[in-house]
Amino acid sequence: MSTRDRTELFSISEEVADAMATGQPVVALESSGVVQGLKYPLNLETALDIDRTIRANGAVPARTGVVDGRFVVGMSEAQVELFATTPSVPKISTRDIGSALASGGHGGTTVSAALVAADQVGIDVFAVAGIGGVHFDAQRSFDISADLVEFTRHRIAVVCAGAKSLLDPALTLEYLETQGVPVVGYRCDDFPAYYSTSSGQPNPRRVDDLDVLAAAIRLHWRVGNGSGFLVTHPIAAEDALPSDEMYALIHQKQAEAEKAGVSGPSLTPHILKAVSAATHGRTGAANRSVLLSTSAVAAELAVAMRERSALVGVS
């Protein structure tokens, strides 16, 4: 079988293609959360609300996923509903892309895989609730998310509410510093912790002005840096869960998972499901809140970055 060319591998929606061609701001999204995040129908409702939030703030949403063996950028509502109602759709990381495309099946993109797709079509802003990072006790397990590696490979601004709560925030920030990936808090001093407003670790920098933030990102790339740029913005305080309570619960569920022999790619969803059950669904409400807030900030940033590009004449 001959190798498929790029046009056969990628399917870009008409809306996203038009936006890219005319210089409109676009925000990339992942799709693994649709499959393995909130339960149906809340997962579908939240995904569609994210799209509406991005549009309401002046940008075009571009959810990525593998559908029928093609990388889709700008999933349709029908495709999102397919993922939301099919929990057997596997999530795919960077390492899984080739196999997923060759299989002719479906795949929900994680952050790392979504960044690959976004970079290939020229999208420079990405929104997600929480990034992957360095796991607790990584000195023993070497468990470090592929997300962090992909941040070093793509010139994309990633807007998030920090790292997922089951990760070590100090080690995650240390890794990002070593790799030269800027971490800037937008109107926040502390590095958030997904469900919580603070991880207990400070952001290396804070910026309160969106135009200044857009300029910082553009200039980071213009001088020759090839890495991404991490922008953190916390969950709304009224929707947040206490960080001490969350970290204690997560450590408990991690220990239980290890005793049960759960490891590898199954570990994170297993722990998140256990934590959700233990909090009687409070994490689900927090997850929805943070998805909408990071999407709104990402859209605003995408608009500011496009205006900045027009001002200085760079892409």
| Active site (catalytic) residues | 30, 164
How far CA 151 is from CA of 116, 147, 230, in Å, comes to 10, 6, 8
Q: State the virtual CA torsion across 221, 227, 228, 230 in degrees, nearest 10.
A: -100
Q: Are 119 and 154 in contact (CB under 8 A)?
A: yes
Q: b/e per residue, 61-93, with b = 16+ CB within 10 A?
A: bbbbbbbebebbbbbeeebbbbbbeeeebbbbb
What is the rounded distance in angstroms from the CA atom of residue 140 to the CA atom of residue 137?
6
Question: Is the peptide bond prior to 41 cis by the omega test (within 30 degrees of 0)?
Answer: yes
Q: Are 270 and 262 in contact (CB under 8 A)?
A: yes
What is the rounded distance in angstroms from the CA atom of residue 76 to the CA atom of residue 62?
9
What is the rounded distance in angstroms from the CA atom of residue 148 to the CA atom of residue 134?
8
The DSSP annotation for 70-89 comes to EEEES--HHHHHHHHT-TTS
> CA geometry: angle at 147 spanning 141 and 151, to 5°?
125
For 207-210, the CB contacts below 8 A with 24+ separation are 210/186, 210/300, 210/301, 210/304
Which phi and psi angles does 19 have, rounded to 5°?
A: -65, -45
